[in-house]
Amino acid sequence: MTGEQIRAMDKKYNLHSWSVQGTLNPVVLERAEGIYFWDVYGKQHIDMSSQLVNMNIGHHNLKVIEAIKKQADRMPNIAPPFAADVRSELARKIIEEVAPDNMAKVFFTNAGAEANENAIKIVKLVSGRYTVFSRYRSYHGATYGAANLTGEPRRFACEPGIPGFIKFFDPYRYRAGIDFKSEEEFSSYYVNQLREQITYEGREHVAAIFLETVTGSNGVLIPPAGYLKGVRDICDEFGIMMVCDEVMSGWGRTGEWFAFMNWDVKPDIITFAKGITCGYAPIGGVIVSNKIAEYFDDHLLSCGLTYNGHLLGCAAGIAAIDVYKELGLLENAKKMGVVLKAELGKLQKKHPSLGEVRVIGLFGM
Ligand code: PLP
């Protein structure tokens, strides 16, 4: 097939996400390697956004590809009640080698939205409470519950929303319109606002506060000093669970396995996807604390997916974690982040339309 034939067929039979279909003219791709991909006409492109901020180890990594091939040949999938080596090993690796020491178990999903869907259910089941807080400048996924967590306009298709989903304002200094003397003062202003809002919504009803640790698709908003600790303190005071959505900010993007590790704060739940397999096979999940895991020792975990911990995704995840370590990609993100920040700073000087540059690790704009 020629590129034109592929594109014509794509436009005839495929629906693309978040798009008015008639305006689309997708570039037809053929192959990818490292930071590059090539279209069917042989033109080389630099993948500046790592596809959807998920190809953290780059394209065409043979170690991950081999792991998937081997697993596909042996046993591509099993139903959720069974156990298999790669599912056990990926969960062990996440808990023992990646997550902080308060974390105990993983519930695997297929991607990020499903991770948040299941986290919503888990916090409600564990707490018996029904309110969940999340921020306006946030994206947590496109499925119904995750879209109700989402604060920005991609939630509108799910309006009117599900009762109990409350939004609060995130600390975004560039648009705050208030001249704070320090980052700490800025943080405490927003933390105090949140505290008051929780009080007015009924502290005893609030199950969880969900946050993208570093807000991703709404502009790489980096939490100011003291902010995450302030949210953690509110959670501890009122018995609320803190859920860090690390779907985009996790897996080395900020120079740490998870972004919250930059601020020495431990959430109760971590949701993840994207960089765990870097897109070689889909997998996501919910990591829960010791306390939450213990709760489900004698209570029903009322969550389920046919592809809970799909074995191809598990095999890819194990290999990808090894690749992160072997290539020193966390350290590299920190090192190259300095270069990225400097280069974006140069662009900012040239272009008055560029109001602010925000970079943490290789997460920047
Ligand atoms: N959470 C965050 C922070 C995201 O950036 C995304 C997707 O970009 C999601 C959740 C949803 O993940 P998925 O598209 O894998 O369902």
Q: Which atom of ligand 1 is nearest to the CA of 141?
A: 11
| Ligand 1 shell residues, CB under 6 Å | 52, 111-113, 116, 139-141, 212, 216-217, 245, 247-248, 273
Q: How confident is the model at residue 347 (pLDDT cuts 50, 70, 90)?
A: very high
Gap from CA of 351 to ligand 1 centroid (Å): 30
Q: How confident is the model at residue 15 (pLDDT cuts 50, 70, 90)?
A: very high
> What is the pTM assigned to this prediction?
0.97
Q: Which atom of ligand 1 is nearest to the CA of 249?
A: 3
H or E element at residue 310: none
Name the nearest CA neighbour of 244 among 287, 305, 183, 278.
Answer: 287
Gap from CA of 207 to ligand 1 centroid (Å): 21
| Cβ pair 253, 220 in contact under 8 A | no
Q: Are strands 359-360 and 103-109 parallel, antiparallel or unpaired?
A: unpaired
Q: Are strands 131-135 and 165-168 parallel, antiparallel or unpaired?
A: parallel
* Residue to substitute in 135, 138, 140 for testing ligand 1 pocket (most ligand atoms within 8 angstroms of CB): 140
| Cβ pair 124, 323 in contact under 8 A | no
Gap from CA of 116 to ligand 1 centroid (Å): 9
Q: What percent of the chain has pLDDT over 90?
A: 98
Gap from CA of 212 to ligand 1 centroid (Å): 10
Q: How confident is the model at residue 37 (pLDDT cuts 50, 70, 90)?
A: very high
Q: How confident is the model at residue 178 (pLDDT cuts 50, 70, 90)?
A: confident
Output the average pLDDT for the chain.
Answer: 97
Q: Which atom of ligand 1 is nearest to the CA of 54?
A: 8
Q: Which two structure tokens, joined as six digits, stand for 308?
A: 């809970």
- The secondary structure of 105-126 as a DSSP string is EEEEESSHHHHHHHHHHHHHHH
Residue 176 has pLDDT above 90, yes or no: no
Q: Which atom of ligand 1 is nearest to the CA of 143?
A: 16
Count the Cβ atoms, other than its own, within 10 Å of residue 37. 20
* Residue to substitute in 248, 249, 286 for testing ligand 1 pocket (most ligand atoms within 8 angstroms of CB): 248
Gap from CA of 97 to ligand 1 centroid (Å): 23
- The secondary structure of 333-344 as a DSSP string is HHHHHHHHHHHH
Name the nearest CA neighbour of 221 among 193, 182, 259, 266.
Answer: 259
* Residue to substitute in 118, 150, 274 for testing ligand 1 pocket (most ligand atoms within 8 angstroms of CB): 274
Q: Which atom of ligand 1 is nearest to the CA of 217?
A: 5
Across the range 64-83, mean pLDDT stands at 97
Residue 100 has pLDDT above 90, yes or no: yes
Gap from CA of 41 to ligand 1 centroid (Å): 31
Q: Which residue has the tokens 């949140």?
A: 194
Which amino acid appears at position 40 of this protein?
A: V
Across the range 55-76, mean pLDDT stands at 98
Gap from CA of 284 to ligand 1 centroid (Å): 10
| Cβ pair 292, 122 in contact under 8 A | yes
What's the half-sphere exposure (Cβ side, CA atoms, 13 Å) at 144?
5
Gap from CA of 175 to ligand 1 centroid (Å): 24
| Cβ pair 246, 286 in contact under 8 A | no
Q: How confident is the model at residue 175 (pLDDT cuts 50, 70, 90)?
A: confident
Distance CA 116, CA 284 (A): 10
Which amino acid appears at position 334 of this protein?
A: K
Residue 179, pLDDT score? 87
Gap from CA of 54 to ligand 1 centroid (Å): 10
Distance CA 299, CA 294 (A): 9
Interval 296-333: pLDDT, tens: 999 999 999 999 999 999 999 999 999 999 999 999 99
Question: Is the omega angle on the peptide bond into residue 352 within 30 degrees of 0, that is, cis?
Answer: no
Across the range 18-33, mean pLDDT stands at 97
Across the range 133-150, mean pLDDT stands at 98
What's the half-sphere exposure (Cβ side, CA atoms, 13 Å) at 312?
14
Distance CA 93, CA 212 (A): 23
- The secondary structure of 239-277 as a DSSP string is TPEEEEE-TTTTTTTTSSSSGGGGTT---SEEEE-GGGT
Interval 237-288: pLDDT, tens: 999 999 999 999 999 999 999 999 999 999 999 999 999 999 999 999 999 9
Per the document, the length of the chain is 365
Name the nearest CA neighbour of 276 among 103, 102, 55, 36.
Answer: 55
